[in-house]
Structure 1
Amino acid sequence: MPRTVHFEHLVQINDPTNPLLAPISRDQLWRGLMRRVEQPGEFLVGVEHVALAVRSAQLIEREMLLGKLRVVDRISLEPGRSIHFDTAPSEQHQGGSFTMTIEEPNPGDLFVRFSYRTALPDGVGTPDSAAGDAYFADYVKAAYRDTDVDGIRWIRELVETGEL
């Protein structure tokens, strides 16, 4: 049975203690997160092609090519609140899931919770590879965190230039 890495982190969007940081509305944030779904090449390195096979208010099915890697996602939408990706496993990768949830504990105090569940690749997760598991998990978590922080930074730039 494959073992999985679960990782979750929170990114603050609006900071009332920082007057240099222009606030983003919930609607602008949602549009930015949807842009990550619809135009992933702006957020991920190496995206060569994206096709949206199915599109409705609650569901998107998407195929991406990143070099020779083909990624097929089923994306469930709860408009204005959350986006959940289920990535199908293939010969090239183990698949997994990813959720972006907008949280607003107080009016205007926006955060995005990023939650990942990724299967460990073959060969990782054997009883004699605990150190390798920890290294791999830490590497994956750092990559996810960096991608998400960069994505929010890009959304902020899109808001500042009037694109969102």
Structure 2
Amino acid sequence: MRFEHLVEINDPGNPALEPLTPEQLWQGLVLRAESPELFVLGLDSAEIVNRGDGWVERVLHFGPASVRDRVVFEPRHAVRYETAATHEHAGGTLSMIIETPTPVALLVRFIYETTMPSVDDSGDDRYAEIVKSAYHEADLDTVRKIREIAHTGRLG
């Protein structure tokens, strides 16, 4: 299954929405990878088990299930999560790409590519649509959390 959508970060037409800088957004996306417990609902604990130039490997613990992934950073542009399929997890990739189509516009493109089929054996796509909706809500929550953290001054 592939699912892609955009989340608008800055809306010049909404003065009540405090704008983020591209640097604050980048730092928030890095924080999501480095401290996922701040962002991921249901996550009991997380540990970074390996680190290199531009990447980290993590183990995420959800109750008795553990998910191992690799997060690759393309500085100030993209964060890509790579997860192998296991008994507990469908596996796949999630890319978060910062886009600045105009000087005042700031967006994040979320791209999910998973091993989960888009339809079941009967041709029913309802389960995939539920998963896509959950991904979308999680991404909106990520942006909300980045805004909250930026408001405290933690992201510069």
Which TM-score band applies after superposition, normalised by the shorter structure?
Answer: over 0.9
The corresponding residue for 1:137 is 128
Deviation of 1:91 after TM superposition, in Å, equals 2.0
Please give the TM-score of this superposition, normalised by the length of structure 1. 0.89
Distance of 1:33 and 1:65 partners within structure 2: 20
In structure 2, give the amino acid aligned to 1:152.
V
Kindly state the Cα deviation for residue 94 of structure 1 after the two structures are TM-superposed. 2.2
- Alpha-carbon distance in structure 2 between the residues aligned to 1:36 and 1:87: 16
Q: Does the aligned pair in 2 maintain the 1:57–1:79 contact within 8 Å?
A: no
- How well do the aligned residues superpose, as a CA RMSD in angstroms? 1.3
Structure 2: distance between partners of 1:39 and 1:23: 23
Q: Give the Cα separation in 2 of the matches to 1:151 and 1:141.
A: 15
Partner Cα distance (2:67, 2:6) in 1: 25
- Report the 3-state secondary structure (helix = DSSP H, G, I; strand = E; otherwise coil) of the residue aligned with 1:47: coil
Deviates more, 1:140-149 or 1:34-43: 34-43
Tell whether 2:29 aligns with 1:33: yes
Does residue 161 in structure 1 map to residue 152 in structure 2?
yes
Match of 2:120 among 125, 139, 150: 125
* Deviation for aligned residue 1:86: 0.8
Could you list the runs of 4 or more consecutive aligned residues of structure 1 that deviate by over 4 angstroms after TM superposition?
A: none
Q: CA deviation at 1:125?
A: 3.3
- Percent identity for Structure 1 against Structure 2: 42
1:57 positional shift: 3.7
Which residue identity does 1:30 align to in structure 2? Answer: W
3-state DSSP of counterpart to 1:92: coil
Q: Aligned partners of 1:25, 1:57: CA distance in 2, in Å?
A: 25
- Unmatched 5+ stretches in structure 2: none
Between Structure 1 and Structure 2, how many residues are aligned? 154
| Amino acid aligned to 1:106 | T
With normalisation by structure 2, the TM-score equals 0.93
Q: Distance in 1 between matches of 2:106 and 2:79?
A: 16
- Confirm or deny: 8 A CA contact 1:87 1:97 kept in the other structure: yes
Alpha-carbon separation, structure 2, partners of 1:77 and 1:125: 34
